[in-house]
Amino acid sequence: MTTNPWARVRSLLAAAGSLTLIAAACAPSSEPQESVVEVVEPTGTPVTPSVTPSTSPSATSSEPVADPEPAAATEDEATAPAEAEPGSADAIDPHADAPLGYAAMNGGTSGGFGGDTVTELVLSEYRDWSGAPTPGQALHQALQEHRKAADGAGLVVYVDVTVTRDQVDAEDLVLKDVSHVSLLGVGDSGELDGIGIGISRSHDIVLRNLTIHHVSEGQGDAVGVAGASTNVWIDHNTFFSEIDGVDKDFYDGLVDIKQNTEYVTVSWNEFHSHWKASLVGHEDNAATAPDGITFHHNRFSDINSRTPLIRAADVHMLNNVFEDIHGSAINARIGARVLVEGNHFDNVGSGGTDRETGHVSGPVGWWYGGDETGHWNLVDNAYVDSPHEHLESTTDFTVPYAYEAQSPEEALAAVEAHAGSGVIDVTSR
């Protein structure tokens, strides 16, 4: 990972009265049948071009019932095309140090390096800058201390050890009422075992290259973003628990985004071995829904449902890979608008019919209750052994930023090579 040398100079200027500075440089539910990939264009609505110019609860299976009536298309207006600005983040780069998508809007997302002054800490050297007895407690204290920092201050913590639940005298590691924070795993050593990260009422937050797993206490999420937080980038992490031998409600979500949070990008992550992977919106109330979320180049595998479940938000599902999803995948409710583009679905969905909504459980739909369906624009997706013949677009929604979409086959190769933790180069010196 390339860091900002000027940020290190600023950190030296900020040493007095701050924290001590450390100089820093799936097992499937059934065996898939042999099949040919079928790339399906949407029907009933216009196809969005692959390059879009910039203009600025429970997931239990249902008993089969009668086939659903086809969903009626909406009349949403597409975003008008415009020329992309020079230098815009419109290319796919798994090693980029800035986000693509919604987190690139609203001033962008730089994390700790976006601060006017930057404090950098190496977690394994916690005894040098903290009186805490464990690295977990030291990290907790550093995040709490940052709440008292001057406006514009940035904090970067290089996580190069394992933090366990018993190291921390708190339910979760919490970033609350803070700005400009990065938690960066180093190599393949940045691990949170049994403890999650909560983000609330915060701005400009980056979580990269971490492995977070088996979180069953506290809020129960590996990462929970809430409280009208803005500009959050969750990139190149690995999230998992277990799905065999545990109740569907034993673990909560892997990444849940709630309560009016906006401008979030979730990219190049591995989600696996879990019942209910991700929420975008926690209740059937559009007034509290998050908005402006991009999921791109993530792999979801050996998961039952919620990849993700979306309520009322505008979401871009771009070039993700879905493998062995046992129940249902992208679940759109309460007027959500989802651009589902360039994704690769393999052995996704039970194929049963939801008895509450009448939708076939598969790659995209509306399942497990909710007062109103959401809407989806399907563009250039590939389906292998996944029920999809019934699918058609129900909106022409597009997104207001520049990007370059890959084909589903290109996305599959890119995700297999570059998703998850331990891939990008994050080092401290």
User: In angstroms, rounded to a whole number, what is the distance separating the alpha carbons of residues 213 and 71?
Assistant: 38
Q: What is the number of alpha carbons within 13 Å of residue 23 lying toward its C-beta?
A: 4
Active-site hit among 8, 10, 306, 333:
306
Tokens found for residue 36: 């040919």
3-state secondary structure of 278: strand
E strand spans, 186-228: 191-193, 197-200, 203-208, 211-213, 223-226
Q: CA-CA distance, 408 to 53, in Å (whole number)?
A: 20
What distance in Å separates the CA atoms of residue 168 and residue 133, rounded to the nearest whole number? 10
Contact between residue 377 and residue 369 where contact means Cβ atoms under 8 Å apart:
no
Q: Which residues contact 159 (CB under 8 A, 6 or more apart)?
A: 123, 139, 183, 184, 185, 186, 189, 190, 191, 192, 210
Residue 306 among the catalytic residues: yes
Phi and psi (nearest 5°) for 229? -65, 155
For tokens 């009186």, what's the residue?
131
Question: Is residue 139 within 8 Å of residue 145, measured between CB atoms?
Answer: no
Q: How far are the Cα atoms of 217, 240, 350, 367 from residue 322, in angstroms, in the given order?
A: 27, 15, 13, 18
The catalytic site residues sit at 306
